[in-house]
Amino acid sequence: MSKSLRTLKVVIPDGNPLNYKQVVGGSDCVMHVLSRSFCISEHLNELKGMQRPALYLLIDEKGKGYIGQTKGFAARVKDHLAKKPWWTRAYVFVSASGLYNTANVEYLEYIAIRAAQESASYDMSDNGQTPTNPTLHEWDRPEFDEVFEQIKFFLLCERCFIFEKVGEGAEKLEKGTATAATLHENAEPARPIFYAKRKGIVAKGYPLLDGTKSFVVLKGSLLNVEVTPSFSLKKQREKVLESCVLKSKDAYELCEDYVFTSPSSASGVCNGFSSNGFEDWKLEDGTTLKTYLAQINK
């Protein structure tokens, strides 16, 4: 076994890895990975680490990022939800034992912003100028330099290359410097994409195939504005619309991947009426989800 083996533990409290997960391993540093919709929800305040001093990172799928520090992310993120509409995911780094203080996270912010600007992998324009060199004592800095190395490793395993020069992050993963378990989790196989279409409004997604009926509707999918009076999932649809923007008079656009408990709830929310998702979700060649699942389960 390799002497460089490193192990991470991933905790997914609600069973939905696209919504929220916690990652620990090898140090006191804990990474919370949160979707924007989770940050909007009341569940954010229930997380113990969200009330502690933290370094945090906001990103989108187009290569834009923002780095900050805070005394408590649960309170700080409210301002970012109101003023920064572009981000879809947050990474929050806290001490498991509550040992980080303001000086510690200010130093982490300082070296993180410098590293991100030097790598030039992400658009960091929202950060403006690099913060001034903080007041953390010189003898404490090596400890938090090590914390930052752990943070970089966490993000590398998440395939977030904000601190890696263009191309270097993927090369590191290919050479096996990240853990095999994390690579297995993040190296996603090619999935067949299913479509639900109605009057030119197209949603797309795929079944998770994780032992449940969960179905992921992908970012960029369109949802019909109109809803039939008898539609039974109106409350769930209202929650989903929190993650959407109005694309046109006929359609909303989903701003992030969204996991539904079943294909039928997914197609119903997208179409605006009760739906049999196993029949309504189809591959480009017309194969229904029902037929596809029957074929792979033979």
Beta bridge partners of 246: 252
Read off φ and ψ for residue 21, nearest 5 degrees: -150, 160
- Average pLDDT for 27-50: 90
Confidence of residue 239 (pLDDT cuts 50, 70, 90): confident
3-state secondary structure of 21: strand
Give the start-end residues of each E strand in the chain. Answer: 9-11, 20-24, 29-35, 54-59, 65-70, 89-95, 194-198, 201-207, 215-217, 222-224, 244-246, 251-254, 258-260
Task: Give the Cα separation of 278 and 292 in Å (integer).
Answer: 9
Q: Could you report the per-residue pLDDT of 65-75, keeping only the tens digit for each?
A: 999 999 999 99
Q: What sign results for the dihedral spanned by CA atoms 91, 22, 154, 132?
A: positive
Question: What are the structural domain ranges in the chain?
Answer: 9-186, 194-296
Beta bridge partners of 115: none
Better pLDDT: 135 or 44 = 44
Q: Could you report the per-residue pLDDT of 80-137, keeping only the tens digit for each?
A: 999 998 898 999 999 998 999 999 999 999 999 999 999 988 999 999 877 788 888 8
Task: Give the Cα separation of 203 and 268 in Å (integer).
Answer: 11
Given a cut of 70, whether residue 2 has pLDDT beyond it is no
Please tell me the predicted confidence (pLDDT) of residue 190: 55
- DSSP per-residue string spanning 196-232: EEETTEEEEEEE--SSS--EEEPTT-EEES---TT-S
Please tell me the predicted confidence (pLDDT) of residue 149: 93
